[in-house]
Amino acid sequence: MTLNERALIELIRKTDRGQAPGLIRGIGDDCAVFEPGSEPWLISTDTLVDHIHFERAFHPPRLLGRKSMAVNLSDVAAMGGRPCFALLSLALPPDLSGEWLDEYVAGVRAILDEHGCTLIGGDTVRANELMISVTVLGQAEAGAVLYRSGAGTGDVVMVSGPLGSSAAGLALLQKNEEARHQEWSTGQWTELIASHLDPAPQVQLGLVLAASGMVTAMQDLSDGLATDLAHVCRESGVGALIRADQLPQLPELVAAGRYLAHAPLDWILRGGEDYQLVFTVRIGSVPALQALLTEKGLAEAVEVGEIRAGAGVFLESEPGKEQEITFQGFEHRGEQ
């Protein structure tokens, strides 16, 4: 992010936070929040660019269709909303085939159907680069929107599932093409690769957490725990301590780390695009929350640390030994 782009965001943020009638929250969270009637609505937009946010060369179009929606569905999930409507703008390079587009649209349609979300608009334009711009509108229950800003000292930090899988999957895919085919065919890394190519937005979980009344802040893991939890800390005016031995990971992550000579902990803390949720829970509420998740047929969440006074995100690698990891997460090559 250059100085001027930061200035741009800051300018928008400063002027527009909650000053318009019906606007609850402008820039600075996963979604903007507005209240057109008696219930809050959420809106989020994201642009994905070939070679920066994905590689068309090895991202199957159907899965890219799913993922380009998942990124925004995840933003709605992260605030406890139910996605309702989507808009899709496609900038299409001339070499894109009709089959590619058919597959892409099938993927878009499939994931939207799974989440009861309807495509209500969009446009397609010709360009040199493939670029995908998605806007998703969601609805939340009155009083049940979860912001980044609600975390309090003593809260437990939890995540919804294994971390680092997507980054490891990407690293496996970025190997040479021959290896890539092998990864797919042997099936050894299927779960890691699927985490990258076809992440699942945690919509049901987000709704349950928002309705539970036990969660104080939430955000989705798009840029890695070190960065995403830092957003929660900054917005809440608190710090966080994460314990390395509590961070959940898929068993294959260790094997992939060995295979690629890469530390799994780096993927876990700094790898982006897991699209799990990170959230904070009042300290006494964890057992009740886990029981609720079980009752709803959802996987238990994982305690990974705690919120404390101060600022910044710190990692306890072994008892008594802390290092700061604030905002050390993944940045897309072109992300501002």
- C-beta atoms surrounding 295 within 10 Å: 9
Residue of the chain from 110, 120, 254, 283 that contacts a copy of itself (CB under 8 A): 120
Residue of the chain from 55, 123, 177, 322 that contacts a copy of itself (CB under 8 A): 123
The two tokens of residue 242 are: 């994460």
Instruction: Give the position of tokens 């928002």.
Output: 210
Q: How far is the CB of 74 from a copy of itself (least distance, A)?
A: 14
Stretch that binds a copy of itself, among 123-131, 224-232, 255-263, 278-286 (CB under 8 A): 123-131
Q: How far is the CB of 202 from a copy of itself (least distance, A)?
A: 21
Of 192, 158, 319, 205, the closest CA to residue 267 belongs to 192
Q: Which of residues 94-113 bind a copy of itself (CB under 8 A)?
A: 98, 101-102, 105, 109
- C-beta atoms surrounding 98 within 10 Å: 7
Q: Which is nearer to a copy of itself, 284 or 334 (CB)?
A: 334
Q: How far is the CB of 213 from a copy of itself (least distance, A)?
A: 24
Q: Which of residues 137-196 bind a copy of itself (CB under 8 A)?
A: 137, 139
Residues 66-95, one symbol each (x = binds a copy of itself by CB under 8 A, - = not), give: ------------------xx-x-x-xx---
The answer to whether 253 touches 171, Cβ cutoff 8 Å, is no
Of 220, 218, 273, 293, the closest CA to residue 74 belongs to 220
Q: How far is the CB of 146 from a copy of itself (least distance, A)?
A: 17
The answer to whether 228 touches 299, Cβ cutoff 8 Å, is no
Residue of the chain from 70, 78, 131, 315 that contacts a copy of itself (CB under 8 A): 131
SS3 202: coil
Q: How far is the CB of 4 from a copy of itself (least distance, A)?
A: 4
**Long-range CB contact pairs, 70-73, < 8 A, 24+:** 70/111, 70/198, 70/199, 70/200, 70/201, 70/275, 71/46, 71/134, 71/201, 71/222, 71/275, 72/44, 72/45, 72/46, 72/134, 72/135, 72/136, 73/111, 73/115, 73/117, 73/136, 73/201, 73/203
Q: Which of residues 303-332 bind a copy of itself (CB under 8 A)?
A: 332
Rounded to an integer, what distance in angstroms lies between the CA atom of residue 265 and that of residue 245? 10
Q: How far is the CB of 12 from a copy of itself (least distance, A)?
A: 5
SS3 of 142-156: the string is CCCCCCHHHCCCCCE
Q: How far is the CB of 55 from a copy of itself (least distance, A)?
A: 15
Pairing status of strand 118-126 against strand 82-92? parallel
Q: Which is nearer to a copy of itself, 3 or 261 (CB)?
A: 3
Rounded to an integer, what distance in angstroms lies between the CA atom of residue 188 and that of residue 104? 26
Half-sphere exposure of 200 (CA within 13 A, CB side): 14
Backbone angles phi, psi at 64, to 5 degrees: -65, -40
Q: Per CB under 8 A, does 277 bind a copy of itself? A: no
Stretch that binds a copy of itself, among 4-12, 60-68, 181-189, 235-243 (CB under 8 A): 4-12
Q: Which of residues 10-39 bind a copy of itself (CB under 8 A)?
A: 11-12, 15-16, 19-20, 22-23, 26-27, 31-32, 34, 36-39
Which residues in this chain contact a copy of itself in the complex, by CB under 8 A? 2-5, 7-9, 11-12, 15-16, 19-20, 22-23, 26-27, 31-32, 34, 36-39, 41, 43-49, 52-53, 84-85, 87, 89, 91-92, 98, 101-102, 105, 109, 116, 118-129, 131, 133, 135, 137, 139, 332-336
